[in-house]
Chains A and B, each alone.
Chain A
């Protein structure tokens, strides 16, 4: 069974750093792109970027370029989404998804940024 399991909910303060994770199992992790999608409260889906774990080729949406870093560690079949300095506006649910079109999705990680 293919699974993407994301790390748990986070509560952070503005200015703090954060890395959330997405662990793939049940398939060859290095042969499919992993994307990240943001969903702000009550809003639609926003495509953030995507990484190919075999060679870490990464593409970003211009809206998120420079705001987040996407990475992957193929040795442990895990992709990451990272912030160096969180803002209140980063409060959202974040999903990872397998393939350029999301054949499989993680359960989501809720990130709350509040002072």
Chain B
């Protein structure tokens, strides 16, 4: 089973700043099969990025994903107030398709 470790656990930033979230896998994720989700309180997760760097439909271009192998990042170029939420990575290259433990992005 691939274990995903996200860092930091909590990230405190201000609107307008740049956010960089990390997701590290315990073994290589095949074919860059990694996704990122955003979850706000009381809501279902929303897909942001799939295939490590492809934006899902309707996702603003301030969200970008990168990386390969065991190291992946989600970057939010300029934080908007609605971006403060919890972010999860998920690998779907090898069953079980595990999630990271999440990074909480909070307003500083």
Chain A residues at the B interface, C-beta cutoff of 8 Å: 35, 37, 44-47, 49-50, 59-63, 95, 97, 100-108
Contact = CB atoms under 8 A, between A and B. Distances in A.
Given A95-B44, A101-B50, A105-B45, A47 B90 contact: yes
Q: Which of B47, B88, B98, B102 has the most CB of A within 10 A?
A: B47
A101 B99 contact: no
Contact of A47 (B44, B47, B86, B97): B97
Contacts of A105: 44-46
Interface of B: 1, 33, 35, 37, 39, 44-47, 50, 56, 86, 88, 90, 92, 95-102
A103 B47 contact: yes
B99 A102 contact: no
Pick the 9 closest A-B CB pairs, nearest first: A61-B96, A101-B35, A105-B44, A100-B92, A45-B99, A59-B95, A44-B102, A101-B50, A47-B97
A97 B56 CA distance: 15
B18 to A, nearest CB: 24
Contacts of B46: 105
B92 A101 contact: yes
A102 B88 contact: no
A101 B98 CA distance: 11
B97 A103 contact: no
B44 A107 contact: yes
B88 A35 contact: no
A16 to B, nearest CB: 26
